[in-house]
Chain A
Amino acid sequence: MPDRPARPLSPHLSIYRPQITSVLSILHRLAGLALLAGAAALVWALAAAAAGPGPFAAVEAFFAAWWGRGLLLAFTLAFFFHLLNGVRHLFWDAGFGFELPAVRASGWTVALLTPALTALSWWLALGGPGA
C-alpha cells in the first residue's frame, strides 16, 4: 500500500480532558519504552563486567555520577509503574475490574503505590533499617 496523502484529522489531544484511564495507558507504553532503554544499559553493564575491571570502570563512573543515579531512579520508577499497571492489565485480561469505579480505584492505587514501592526499594538497597 503506498503512503496515503495527508488528510484532516478530528481534534483529539487538544479537546479531551486527561483522565486516569488515558493517562495511565500512555504512561504504561512510555514506561515500557524507558525500560527498554534500561535493558540496553543492563546488557552493556553485564558485557562490561564480563570484559574485566577496565571496561567496567565506565559503568562504575556512570553510576557514581549524579545523573547516572538519576537515570537509575527514573528507571526504577518506570519499572514499578509498569509492573503495577501490568498486573492491573492482567486482571482485565482475566475479566475482572472493568466497571468504571473499579478502573479508577485500581488506577489511583497504581499511581500511589508506584512512588511508594520505588522509595521502599531504594531505602532497602541503601541499607534498609540501618540507614
Chain B
Amino acid sequence: MSARTPLARARGLGSAHEGAGHWWLQRLTAAALVPLGVWFAAGCVRLAGLGHGEFTALVADPLNAVLLLLFLGAGLYHGWLGARVVVEDYVASPGRRVALLALLAGAGWLAAAVAGLAVLRIALGAA
C-alpha cells in the first residue's frame, strides 16, 4: 500500500530510484558477470598485446565468441542500469536528467549493436 497521495503520484514525486524489476535485473546480471567477468579479465590482459591476426583468431574461436557476446550483453546492460542510477542521483534538473538518460540508452544500444556485429563478423570469418 503506497503512502503517496494521488497528486504526488501523478506529479512523479518521491524516490526515482530503480524499480523492483531493475533492482532484480541488476543483481541477476551481476551474478552472471561474476564468472563471465573473471573469464574476460583473464583474457583481456593477454588480448591487449596481440596483433590483428591473433586477436581475431582468439575472438573467432566459437567458445570465446559465445562467452564474449554473453559478457557484452550482461555487462552493457548492468553498466547501463548503473549509469542510470548515477544520473538519477546527481542530476537535479528534470530536463537535463531526461536528456542524459535518453543519451545513455542510445549509447548503450549503439555499443551493443556495434560490438555484437563486430564479434559476429570476426567469428563468422567476414573480417
A residues with CB within 8 A of B: 1, 3-4, 29, 32-33, 35-36, 39-40, 42-43, 45-47, 49-53, 56-57, 60, 63, 68-69, 72, 76, 79-80, 83, 86-87, 89-90, 93, 121-122, 124-126
Give Cα distance in the complex from A45 to B27, angstroms.
28
- With A39-B76, A56-B52 as given contacts, are A49 and B118 in contact (CB-CB < 8 Å)? yes
B interface secondary structure, majority: helix
Interface of B toward A, CB cutoff 8 Å: 11, 13, 27, 30-31, 33-34, 37-38, 41-42, 44-53, 55-56, 59, 72, 75-76, 79, 82-83, 86, 92-94, 111, 114-115, 117-119, 121-122, 126-127
* Cross-chain contact A83 with B34 (CB below 8 angstroms): yes
A32 engages B41 (CB within 8 Å): no
Partner of B51, one of A51, A60, A68, A86: A60
CA–CA, A98 and B121, complex, Å? 47
In contact, B127 and A87 (Cβ under 8 angstroms)? no
A50 and B118 in contact (CB under 8 A), knowing A93-B27, A121-B45?
Answer: yes
Question: Are A50 and B121 neighbours in the complex by a CB distance under 8 Å?
Answer: yes
With contacts A39-B75, A124-B42 taken as known, whether A4 is within 8 angstroms of B49 at the C-beta atoms is no
Closest to A46 in B: B118
Closest Cβ–Cβ distance, residue B41 to chain A (whole Å): 6
**Contacts A/B (CB < 8 Å), 29 sampled:** A29-B82, A29-B86, A32-B79, A36-B79, A36-B82, A39-B76, A43-B114, A46-B59, A46-B115, A46-B119, A47-B115, A49-B56, A50-B126, A51-B127, A52-B52, A56-B52, A56-B55, A63-B48, A69-B48, A79-B37, A79-B41, A80-B41, A83-B33, A83-B34, A86-B34, A87-B34, A121-B41, A122-B45, A126-B45
State in angstroms the CA–CA spacing of A43 and B113 once bound together: 10
- Nearest residue, chain A, Cβ from B55: A49
Residues of B within 8 A of A89 (CB): 30
Assess A39 versus B79: contact at CB under 8 Å? Given A3-B92, A47-B115, A90-B27.
Answer: yes
The 10 A-B pairs with the shortest beta carbon distances in the complex, nearest first, are A125-B45, A50-B118, A46-B118, A53-B52, A63-B48, A56-B52, A50-B121, A50-B127, A43-B115, A125-B46
